[in-house]
């Protein structure tokens, strides 16, 4: 197996008590640096406080991409909302965030958002991101099978990720709206999560990369990606070599109150490495919560070391910077307190579950 610098560019983290254990575990797996992505949530703000705490503990090894806060937009005119969202970009940068996470274009989120991603409400938000060249870690759409009644996995149904009833935006509608954004702001610096769910259409993925030189794709597994790649491993290998400067490693681990699911994480990272580094034909392993396991086999593409080194770490550093931005602890404490107040007042969080206040206390004591 490889011995290159490894950066996990796609990690969700929501449990402050597990910061040290999480960092230690990933270190054991050979992953030295982490990028924590904290999407917006319409029911509880975002997980920016936990990300800030993680970065405060490991300032040299942890990047953080923050989500927006929609908790105060109700009843306000669109021009005022536009300014609020744009101001949040400046605030995140001032605190020391390394990028922004967008999950608003995942179908179940998009269905419930008060406005689509290409709405004028977001224009100043994207303009600031483009001007600052602050990276966006962006989830758009989902696996194509989630819209197919014959193919949608049972676990997707359980999680509310089945889009067959006609009330969710079609996949192509989401792409169309994102394309509108890209045409308006062509210099945005982006990592599209899960290969932009184009693993079954490498020609289209290649055109996207050719049209927009600042766009990159991460290879965080979904239910479909590596099976699609394995249908034509020769074509996939050629794509990965051609675009080796534009592909980013990640695994989409989620650390929550349930703890660190070490076997699941280790299995996922090992199968990605097997795919990239060997020509083996292999099974995913035991089923996990991302419903990766199928009877189909995965076929490795055995990339050259020069490509592996870029995909595992160098490409991410090129996008987000050789070192994480410095966290302004005082501003971070202030932001955690603000979120704690919102969780208490608007969402009725009890003290033992209020991660905003907990993060503020953690930062004061670190």
- The 10s digit of each residue's pLDDT in 329-363 is 999 999 999 999 999 999 999 999 999 999 999 99
Q: Model-level pTM? A: 0.96
Domain spans of the chain? 7-365
Neighbours of 321 (CB within 10 A): 13
Residue 288 pLDDT > 70 = no
Residue 1 pLDDT > 60 = no
Query: What's the fold here for domain 7-365?
Result: TIM Barrel (3.20.20)
For the record, the structure tokens of 68 come out as 């927006």
Residue 287 pLDDT > 50 = no
Q: How many angstroms from the chain centroid is the CA of residue 296?
A: 26
- The 10s digit of each residue's pLDDT in 226-239 is 999 999 999 999 99
Closest by alpha carbon to 47, among 114, 110, 97? 97
91 contacts 335 by C-beta, under 8 angstroms: yes
């Amino acid at each position: 197996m490889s011995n290159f610098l490894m950066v996990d560019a796609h990690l969700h983290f929501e449990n402050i008590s597990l910061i040290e254990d999480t960092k230690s575990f990933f270190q054991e797996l050979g992953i030295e640096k982490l990028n924590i992505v904290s999407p917006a949530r319409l029911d509880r703000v975002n997980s920016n406080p936990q990300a800030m705490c993680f970065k405060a503990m490991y300032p040299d090894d942890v990047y953080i991409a923050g989500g927006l806060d929609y908790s105060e937009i109700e009843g306000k005119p669109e021009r005022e909302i536009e300014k609020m969202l744009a101001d949040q970009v400046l605030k995140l940068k001032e605190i020391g965030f390394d990028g922004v996470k967008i999950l608003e274009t995942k179908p179940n989120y998009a269905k419930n958002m008060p406005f689509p991603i290409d709405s004028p409400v977001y224009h100043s938000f994207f303009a600031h991101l483009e001007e600052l060249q602050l990276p966006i870690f962006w989830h758009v759409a989902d696996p194509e099978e989630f819209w197919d009644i014959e193919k949608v996995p049972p676990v997707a149904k359980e999680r509310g990720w089945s889009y067959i009833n006609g009330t969710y935006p079609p996949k192509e509608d989401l792409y169309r709206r994102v394309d509108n954004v890209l045409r308006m702001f062509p210099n945005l610096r982006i990592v599209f999560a899960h290969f932009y769910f184009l693993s079954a259409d490498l020609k289209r993925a290649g055109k996207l990369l050719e049209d927009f030189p600042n766009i990159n794709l991460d290879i965080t597994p979904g239910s479909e990606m590596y099976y699609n790649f394995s249908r034509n491993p020769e074509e996939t290998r050629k794509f990965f070599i051609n675009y080796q400067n534009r592909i980013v490693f990640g695994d989409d681990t989620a650390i929550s109150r349930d703890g660190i699911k070490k076997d699941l994480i280790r299995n996922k990272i090992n199968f990605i490495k097997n795919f990239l580094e060997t020509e083996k034909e292999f099974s995913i392993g035991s089923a996990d919560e991302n419903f990766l396991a199928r009877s189909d086999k995965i076929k490795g593409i055995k990339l050259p070391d020069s490509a592996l080194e870029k995909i595992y770490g160098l490409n991410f550093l090129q996008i987000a910077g050789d070192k994480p931005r410095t966290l302004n602890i005082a501003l971070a404490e202030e932001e955690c307190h603000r979120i704690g107040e919102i969780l208490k007042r608007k969402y009725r969080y009890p003290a033992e579950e209020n991660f905003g206040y907990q993060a503020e206390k953690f930062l004061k004591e670190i």
